[in-house]
A = this chain, B = another copy of it.
Amino acid sequence: MRTLNVALGERAYPIHIGPGLLGRPDLVVGALATPRAAIVSNEVVAPLYLEKLAAPLRAAGVRITAIVLPDGESHKNWETLNRIFDVLLAERCDRGTTVIALGGGVVGDLAGFAAASYQRGVPFIQVPTTLLALVDSSVGGKTGINHPRGKNMVGAFWQPKLVLADTDTLATLPARELSAGLAEVIKYGLIRDLPFLAWLEENMTRLMARDAEALAYAIERSCANKAEVVAADERETAKDGGRALLNLGHTFGHAIETGLGYGEWLHGEAVAAGTVMAAELSRRLGWLSEADVARVRELLARAGLPVSGPKLGAERYLDFMGHDKKVVAGRLRLVLLRQIGAAITYADAPPDDVRAAIESCCA
């Protein structure tokens, strides 16, 4: 087991990474306010892992309430969130109850927002079971639900007390979800960690073959990158760069997710296509070469990811991007690549270049 720390002062918390951690109630019990927890999971993950987490906790004296939600991004909405509140209230969970998210990004976002809002806030623990959640969404405290007009439009910053990242859970992960997680792993290399990008290019074949050692290294290095960025800019308020850089490909990607309807593409798939668009726009601005863009495209493709977006038409992309949270004072602020390994936020891209970048990356 390796432990990283997210340095957020009085909200600091550890990320434990390693195999077999679901069976380590000792790591969880110390983080509980009272011996009472509500585990939120979904219909796919619960049959595989809920009892592996719950039974040792029960044996350690923790009273457990289980809440099993339907699976998928299309359920990341108010109705599903309210199901969590219904159970918490029916079971008389109080302010000392810890909400534990056991699942991927959707479960983490829903359970985290429930924890942030239930009785104006209860403690929260993340137990991610997908690669995307392990390397990205479980760290940093972003929680929320989707609105028909925009992804993650309603939510809260709510830091967990603990992230328990059991790498054994990757054994059951569908190939498509593995690839989706790799989109966020590759992102860290592209925006701020060139040596890691080179390592990924060397080791992508091992990662796709689920080599345990390679996956563990990729997870740890991704979490370390994320923890550093979040610690420096917890609420994404830095004027330039900061946490916003983690959104490389996300503004284009959100347009894909919202435009197709939530759940059609996995988040990581939309981010991959969006990353190619961001790279292509960076090339049009004179910052990347053709070879750089090809390098981005090739690595994403080797990770089994789409490297072009659906043909929604550039105007629909722009319409959905206009609802993105990255719009400040009416201007679209995009995350682009100043060079491979160094991202910037940029609000001055000429609209014609944005349109052209989108059009040339749709198929």
Return the CB mask of A22-44 against B: 1 if under 8 Å, else 0.
00000000000010100000000
Residues of A within 8 A of B (CB): 34, 36, 78, 82, 85-86, 89-90, 92, 94-96, 116-121, 142-144, 147, 149-150, 152-157, 235, 322-323, 325, 327-330
Asked whether, in the complex, the Cβ of A89 is within 8 Å of the Cβ of B153, the reply is yes
Q: Which residue of B lies closest to A63 (CB)?
A: B330
**Residues on B with beta carbons closer than 8 Å to the beta carbon of A34:** 328-329
Q: How far apart are A80's CB and chain B's nearest CB, in angstroms?
A: 12
Asked whether, in the complex, the Cβ of B78 is within 8 Å of the Cβ of A327, the reply is no
Could you tell me the distance between the alpha carbons of A119 and B142 in the complex, rounded to whole angstroms?
10
Could you tell me the distance between the alpha carbons of A242 and B173 in the complex, rounded to whole angstroms?
48
Could you tell me the distance between the alpha carbons of A149 and B96 in the complex, rounded to whole angstroms?
18
**Known A-B contacts A153-B118, A323-B92; A147 and B329 likewise in contact (beta carbons under 8 Å):** no
Asked whether, in the complex, the Cβ of A85 is within 8 Å of the Cβ of B153, the reply is yes
**Known A-B contacts A82-B78, A92-B323; A156 and B120 likewise in contact (beta carbons under 8 Å):** yes
Could you tell me the distance between the alpha carbons of A86 and B235 in the complex, rounded to whole angstroms?
23
Query: A156: which of B82, B85, B96, B121 is its contact (CB, 8 Å)?
Result: B121
Asked whether, in the complex, the Cβ of A154 is within 8 Å of the Cβ of B327, the reply is no
Query: A144: which of B96, B120, B149, B323 is its contact (CB, 8 Å)?
Result: B120
Could you tell me the distance between the alpha carbons of A89 and B258 in the complex, rounded to whole angstroms?
14
**Residues on B with beta carbons closer than 8 Å to the beta carbon of A94:** 325, 327-330
**Residues on B with beta carbons closer than 8 Å to the beta carbon of A121:** 156-157, 235
**Known A-B contacts A78-B78, A142-B120, A330-B94; A154 and B325 likewise in contact (beta carbons under 8 Å):** no
Q: How far apart are A257's CB and chain B's nearest CB, in angstroms?
A: 15
Query: A95: which of B118, B120, B155, B325 is its contact (CB, 8 Å)?
Result: B325
Q: How far apart are A301's CB and chain B's nearest CB, in angstroms?
A: 33
Q: How far apart are A152's CB and chain B's nearest CB, in angstroms?
A: 8
Q: How far apart are A209's CB and chain B's nearest CB, in angstroms?
A: 37
